[in-house]
Structures are given as C-alpha cells and as structure tokens.
C-alpha cells in the first residue's frame, strides 16, 4: 500500500527523521509509537503526502508520490482514511453531515449511504449527537466523529494519529474494535499512539507489528510491549 525508502525529513535546520524504510502491506496492522516530538505525526503526513521527504522516495499504491499533481493526490487520498489529531470540522454543519462529507465530495448518493452513516454513528456512540454542531462536542466526541468520517468511505488504508487520545478506556476499546474489524476486512491500518495499554489490548486480538521511533529512525519494537 505505502512504501518509504530511505526517507529523511528535516525542518528548521534540523533532521527529524533519517533513513526510514517502511512497508505497509495490504491487510497489515501497525502501531507507531515513540516519545512526544519524535516524529510520529510527521511519518503519517509523509504517508499521505501532506509532507514531502527531504531525501528518499515514497510510493503509495505503486505510484511515486512526487509524480502526482494536486488532483491526482486528491484522488489517491480517497483511498485513505486519515484521522488527524486536531479533528478539523466545518463548524456550521451538524456532526452527521461532517462525517458524511467524504461521500458528498466524491459525488456518492447520500441517500443510499444513510444506513451506513447511521450504523457508523451508533458504533462510535454519537447517534444522539448527529444533529449537534462541532463546537458543541467534547474533545472525545470530536475524536470519535473524526474516526467515523475517516472510515465512512471504507478506505483501503487507515492512518490514525492518536485516535483514542481524548476518550476514556471503554470508548478507546470500542474504537479499537472498529479498526480491528476494518483490518479483518482486508484494510491496512497504521495507528500512531503513545498508549502502550492500547497496543497490548490489540495484540491479543490481531497480528500487529509495533514500530518505534528512536534516534530519528523507525525500528521494530521488542516483544516487551
């Protein structure tokens, strides 16, 4: 799905990532962990093309991302479900419309998808908040809405940046189950998180590789997690 080959990324005169090689194969499940500021969010942004590497090459769906123009990049991202840490929404639209926005942008029939939307909102515990506006939501509710929006199109790959960072343990388990079920359907999943308890819970249910950013490189973590 996505391949990073000897990628480095620098900003502000310093190197944040160096010699990163990583393959996200179809149907794989990965966690990306590391201390705050290590570059977890940067790795995800490189994967979906918001950032370009200083050196090295990134391929997505067998295409060199440097070769894509703006429109081609937008089409490619339709195959990705991206959960941002900052949970960006259109504040004038209700939650249901925000979650369904990828359907609207892609031109799919909203009426035909209404059943899937209702089921997804129920799964993330937002059925009773479907008509609320984003400013009325708590941090945890916004996080759940962001995950629902990311998977509404049934993407080939989900890239989630701290998707359970603002929810309690029970809801984090519920969201994790949604991601595990997507993986069992053949979707590729990459979760950036600092929550080792979440990783341990997942590893008892799914074959997950744990990657750790250390010394500017991405390395396979040990079996102690």
Q: What is the pLDDT of residue 224?
A: 45
Tokens for 178? Answer: 């949604």
Percent of the chain whose predicted confidence (pLDDT) is above 90: 47
Q: Give the mean pLDDT of 138-155.
A: 88
Q: What is the pLDDT of residue 124?
A: 86
Q: What is the pairing mode between strands 29-33 and 80-83? A: unpaired
Q: Is 11 exposed, middle or buried (0-12, 13-18, 19+ CB in 10 A)?
A: exposed
The Cα angle at residue 192 between residues 187 and 194, in degrees rounded to 5: 140
Q: Give the mean pLDDT of 169-185.
A: 87
Instruction: Select from 137, 108, 48, 58 the least CA-distant residue to 84.
Output: 48
Q: Which residues touch 107 (CB under 8 Å, ≥6 apart)?
A: none
Q: Which residue has the higher pLDDT, 181 or 108?
A: 181
Q: Give the mean pLDDT of 10-37.
A: 89
Q: Give the tens place of pLDDT for each residue, 190-209.
A: 999 988 889 998 988 898 99
The overall average pLDDT reported for the chain is: 88
What is the pLDDT confidence band of residue 225, given thresholds at 50, 70 and 90?
Answer: very low
Q: Give the mean pLDDT of 108-124.
A: 78
Residue 20 parent element (H or E) = strand 14-24
What is the pLDDT confidence band of residue 112, given thresholds at 50, 70 and 90?
Answer: low
Q: What is the pTM of this model?
A: 0.88
Q: Which residue has the higher pLDDT, 112 or 206?
A: 206
Asked if pLDDT for residue 111 goes beyond 80, the answer is: no
What is the pLDDT confidence band of residue 165, given thresholds at 50, 70 and 90?
Answer: confident
CA atoms within 13 A on the CB side of 186: 3
């Amino acid at each position: 799905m996505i391949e990073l080959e000897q990628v480095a990324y620098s900003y502000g005169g310093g190197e944040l990532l160096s010699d990163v090689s990583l393959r996200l194969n179809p149907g794989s499940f990965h966690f990306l962990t590391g201390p705050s500021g290590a570059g977890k969010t940067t790795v995800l942004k490189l994967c979906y093309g918001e950032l370009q590497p200083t050196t090295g090459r990134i391929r997505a769906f067998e295409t060199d991302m440097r070769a894509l123009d703006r429109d081609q990049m937008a089409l490619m991202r339709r195959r990705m479900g991206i959960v941002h840490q900052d949970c960006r929404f259109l504040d004038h639209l209700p939650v249901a419309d925000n979650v369904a926005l990828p359907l609207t942008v892609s031109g799919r029939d909203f009426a035909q998808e209404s059943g899937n939307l209702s089921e997804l909102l129920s799964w993330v515990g937002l059925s009773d908040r479907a008509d609320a506006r984003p400013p009325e939501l708590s941090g945890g509710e916004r996080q759940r809405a962001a995950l629902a929006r990311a998977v509404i199109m049934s993407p080939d790959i989900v890239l989630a940046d701290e998707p359970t960072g603002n929810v309690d343990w029970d809801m984090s388990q519920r969201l994790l189950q949604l991601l595990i079920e997507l993986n069992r359907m053949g979707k590729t999943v990459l979760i950036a998180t600092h929550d080792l308890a979440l990783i341990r819970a997942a590893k008892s249910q799914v074959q997950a590789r744990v990657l750790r950013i250390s010394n500017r490189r991405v390395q396979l973590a040990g079996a102690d997690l």
